[in-house]
Amino acid sequence: MLQSKDQHKKSIAVFHKRGGIVRTSEAMRAGIHPRTLYEMLGEGVIEKLSRGLYRLADLPPLGNPDLVSVSKRVPNGVICLISALSFHEITTQIPHEVHLAVSRNAQVPRIDYPPVRIFRFSGSSYSEGIEQTKVDDVSLRIYSPAKTLADCFKYRNKIGLDVAIEALKLYRGTKRFSVDEVMYFARACRVEKVMRPYLEAIL
């Protein structure tokens, strides 16, 4: 029993070192036996966020649990489209799933919760415009507002042109708005001709 408590203490320290959230694979690399995880789960020391993802139970509630869970499960993914619009507060849409961009050939683990919609980007469409931020002490990769706008126009047939136009208008009213930056990403995503008339209409 003493040995079990000692293991729990060491395991809790590992969780704290990683912001309170740990994947099973991370736990095992850090020397935490799966049995210890199950014991801690059963005793209410940790809680299960989704498949293979655990969090210390005594931490304050997560502000954005869906983005945190997905970012921990897919570290190389990038929050995109409506999820990114919502994060940047330039949409009235309420995301019902997490929109996640991954590179063309990336392997993505099966995520049972929250609902995730994967978009495969390639080349500069994937690598450009990524911002690193922290949400609930977890590192988050998300596209900038300007890059997200270009992506929304590129994927307008999947998310709706009205969503892209609304986001452009809302972004126009923010301090971060930059015509040059919007046009840079419009060219990078090959939607300059599509976006230009809408951009000119709001200037």
Q: What is the pLDDT of residue 69?
A: 85
User: How high is the pLDDT of residue 23?
Assistant: 81
Domain co-membership, 52 together with 69: no
* Shared domain check, 83 and 21: no
Highest mean pLDDT among 50-54, 119-123, 135-139, 160-164: 160-164
Q: Is there a single domain that holds both residue 46 and residue 126?
A: no
Co-location of 153 and 73 in the same domain = yes
- Residues 74-124 have pLDDT tens digits of 889 999 999 999 999 999 998 889 999 999 888 887 887 788 999 999 888
State whether 149 and 172 are in the same domain.
yes
Q: At 147, give phi and psi (nearest 5°).
A: -65, -40
Which residue is associated with the tokens 């001709």? Answer: 193
Look up residue 105 and give its amino acid: N
Q: Above 70 in pLDDT, residue 70?
A: yes
Q: Are residues 164 and 124 in the same domain?
A: yes
Given 56, 78, 99, the domain boundary residue is: 56
Residue pair 72/21 in contact (Cβ under 8 Å)? The answer is yes
SS (H, E, C) the chain: CHHHHHHHHHHHHHHHHCCCEEEHHHHHHCCCCHHHHHHHHHCCCEEEEECCEEEECCCCCCCCHHHHHHHHHCCCCEECHHHHHHHCCCCCCCCCCEEEEEECCCCCCCCCCCCEEEEEECHHHHHCCEEEEEECCEEEEEECHHHHHHHHHHCHHHHCHHHHHHHHHHHHCCCCCCHHHHHHHHHHCCCHHHHHHHHHHHC
- Report the CATH number at residue 42: 1.10.10.10
Parent domain of 194: 65-202
Are residues 124 and 50 located together in one domain of the fold? Answer: no
Say whether both 75 and 45 belong to one domain. no
Choose one of 33, 56, 79: the last residue of a domain: 56
Judge whether 23 and 69 are in contact, CB under 8 Å: no
Asked whether residue 83 falls in the same domain as residue 183, the answer is yes
Domain match, 125 and 86 both: yes
Q: How many domains does the chain have?
A: 2
pLDDT given for residue 4 in this prediction: 65
111 with 132, same domain: the answer is yes
pLDDT at 138 over 60: yes
When pLDDT is cut at 50, 70 and 90, the band that residue 153 belongs to is very high
Q: 133 or 60, which is more confident?
A: 133
Distance CA 29, CA 11 (A): 12
Q: Are residues 51 and 75 in the same domain?
A: no
